[in-house]
Structure 1
Amino acid sequence: MSTSQWMIYGAYGYTGELVAREAVKRGLTPILAGRSDDRVRPLAQELGLEYRSFSLDQIRSDDLSGMCLVLHCAGPFSATAEPMMQACLRCGCHYLDITGEIGVFERAAALDARAREAGVVLIPGVGFDVIPTDCLAARLKAALPDANHLALGFDSRSGFSPGTAKTSVEALPQGSMVRRNGKLTPTPLAAYTRTIAFGQEPKMAVAIPWGDVSTAWHSTGIANIEVYIPMSPRKITQLKRINWFRGILGWSWVQRLLKQRIGRTLKGPDDGQRQRHTTWVWGEVRNARGEYVEGRVHTANGYDVTVSGALAVAEYLLSRPQVSGYHTPSTLMGWQLVERLPGSGTIELCPREAASQPAA
């Protein structure tokens, strides 16, 4: 395995380009890559970097030749993660991505033994999905080691990139997901709601199929997990109504139309929008005795967290090529990782008596 060369695949997408530009600012020299030569070449030339163009349909050994690490930024990861993970396992290079998709996390975890045999790390979710929530989950578990229930959530108004929006459209027909008694459990959309003070002001919130229902299980071993975002009662009602016809949203032509509209209308938040819209991340753990610990951390905008988080993990692995296996951000670098990212505060914990805990 090389000890220095690494690649950003999907470098000309919204988030991939942000990562590439920040990498250059830090004096890093990744090789940029993507499917389209016409799109990756001008960006690489502007940044003074090498580039490669290849499709994930048939990755050749030469495509990843000399790489010790690939930071995969080309979604939707439901389609692109598997071929890139397999290529990294064959070529002996670490695999990182910025997904929040539960299926990708589960697949990477299933490949743990192969990754250890190959001497590489598989670590999907090295961005806002799921560094802040994963680190908070690990910190809460340390504060209440016998916790058997974990709830996480975040309040972010940064808007969507095209890739994130398309991933959300793909997920709608499947409904939501929680973990119950150690197993991933599908639920209807908006099946779980509650009021949460993500920062200071209590807000109505709804459970969503966020990646932590997979990753937090591997990080903490807690058997019951939900993840929430704030949503108005009116929108929660609308989301529940989607359950009546969400099967139709899975039809290929409906998906195609929705994604085409996203491609025409969404560009992703600009620098000013990202600076204005920071994020509160919240969590709580409870045990069988009713003891309860709540935690919060304030972070930069989700996309800025993705940039700084992905590069933090990449730099860590570039200096530690001997690490291997499937990891989450907290199992690889500890819960303190989120506190080290630009724009992040410290995790604040608030233990409470059993009588103060929220209703289940």
Structure 2
Amino acid sequence: MEFELKYNEVESARAIFERYVQCHPTGHGEKLFSKVVSLEKQYGNREGIEDAIVGERRFQYEENVKKNPLNYDTDYLRLEESSGNRQRTREVYQRAISNMPPVEEKRYWQRYIYLWINYALYEELEAKDMERTREVYRDCLKLIPHKKSSFAKLWLLAAQFEIRQKHLSGARSLLGTAIGMAPKDKIFKSYTELELQLGNIDSCRNLYEKYLEWAPANCYTWINYADLENGLGETERGRAILELAIAQPVLDMPELLWKAYIDFEISRKEHERTRQLYERMLNRTKDLKVWVSYAKFEAGLPLEEGSRAEVEDREPDPQEYTDYVFPEETVISPNLRILEAAYRWKKQKVTKGGEE
């Protein structure tokens, strides 16, 4: 190169450099690249300068990868993608994914899996090679130790790719395999949403049943299953599902489930069923919020003989209490007596107003 440049043979110097790169794609020298950058700055155009700089950065990335081949966070792949050379980009991706994590710890695999995801997205969106994209997803799913650390995101991306290719059977096969090998909430939800959009109600029911076999404590799933049946006009099926739900020994959000069941009966103006639900709920909890909700429900109904009286009879009488006074509380006891007197006065006033 120096010999050619001595006689101003710039194109010959470039050709020598290009030939060297072809023969030694990963064995560049730092000194060589600094020479090329100087050459392009002196004789070349903007494109030539950019190519030289890219070559210099490529050399730096190669040095870093040699020191740590498990450094999945490197921008080397972004550099090759931006260069537009598909063959070189694929070669770097293949070299990267050949360095599997040495242990089956999820945090190492998570970074590794994103290499595969980026590879698949590159083949689909940049290279426009759909068969290669499918192969990338397939090969990656074979490598993952699903029993120890599976990745719902990868299964879903692979299924979404098949949907974009209008290959629904392929998407169903992937999601079904995922549920069998490594069930996750996201996979169940996405599969159910897919079948619901396609109008396959029986498939939705089967998925909800499998979902609840896997996670019987999941209140959102019980509620969504009941909502599906209610939306179809299958009131008795919806009620039966909610009955099964509240009978579960362990629930992650029981208050949400009971509220959904009560709202379900209220929406159908099933007042007596709603009342029975409140009574059953109060057998399990004495939470003040439940009493308040029950009272509001009764207050909002047309007057029914004895209904309000029954609730009032069951409410604890605030005047019936035992007052324990401890020596250290004598300072604040007068204030307490004032509050108690005020409360009794207010209640008498309300009672008198009602009688009038």
Which structure has more helix as a fraction of its residues?
Answer: 2
Given the two structures, how large is their TM-score scaled by the length of structure 2? 0.22
Which structure has more strand as a fraction of its residues?
Answer: 1
